């Protein structure tokens, strides 16, 4: 099994609904995103996937989130904009253009992250 990983960042604001604590108030993060793609066999050039292609597809998804108030994005009007749901949102938007997608990890701080992957 082979895997590759790329990282990217975006900034946005959110607040958590139904949460009692500091995060119920509007606040922001500089999110770090890790994307892992995986395959059993390498392609004819010896790659899982071209890093540039993976970065390009990730950038398309993150453009929709960067410098936005996440709670106003249609997806997050129903799903609370937690790190877990942000990871699933990115995964769901990358799965079609990146069939070898394995997982998305969303870091909301240097010490806290959530990972989403489909079984």
Catalytic residue ranges: 23, 67, 108
Residue with tokens 């870091």: 107
List Cβ<8 Å contacts ≥24 apart for 52-60.
54/4, 54/6, 54/98, 55/6, 55/8, 57/94, 57/97, 57/98, 58/6, 58/8, 58/33, 58/90, 58/94, 59/8, 60/97
């Amino acid at each position: 099994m082979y895997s590759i990983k790329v990282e990217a960042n975006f900034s946005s604001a959110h607040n958590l609904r139904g949460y009692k604590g500091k995060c119920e108030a509007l606040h922001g993060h500089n999110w770090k995103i890790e994307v892992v793609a995986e395959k059993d066999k390498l392609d004819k050039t010896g790659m899982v996937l071209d890093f540039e292609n993976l970065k390009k597809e990730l950038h398309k998804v993150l453009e929709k989130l960067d410098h936005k108030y996440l709670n106003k994005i249609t997806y997050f009007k129903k799903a609370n904009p937690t790190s877990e749901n942000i990871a699933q949102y990115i995964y769901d938007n990358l799965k079609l253009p990146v069939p070898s997608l394995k997982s998305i990890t969303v870091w909301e701080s240097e010490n806290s992250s959530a990972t989403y992957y489909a079984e």
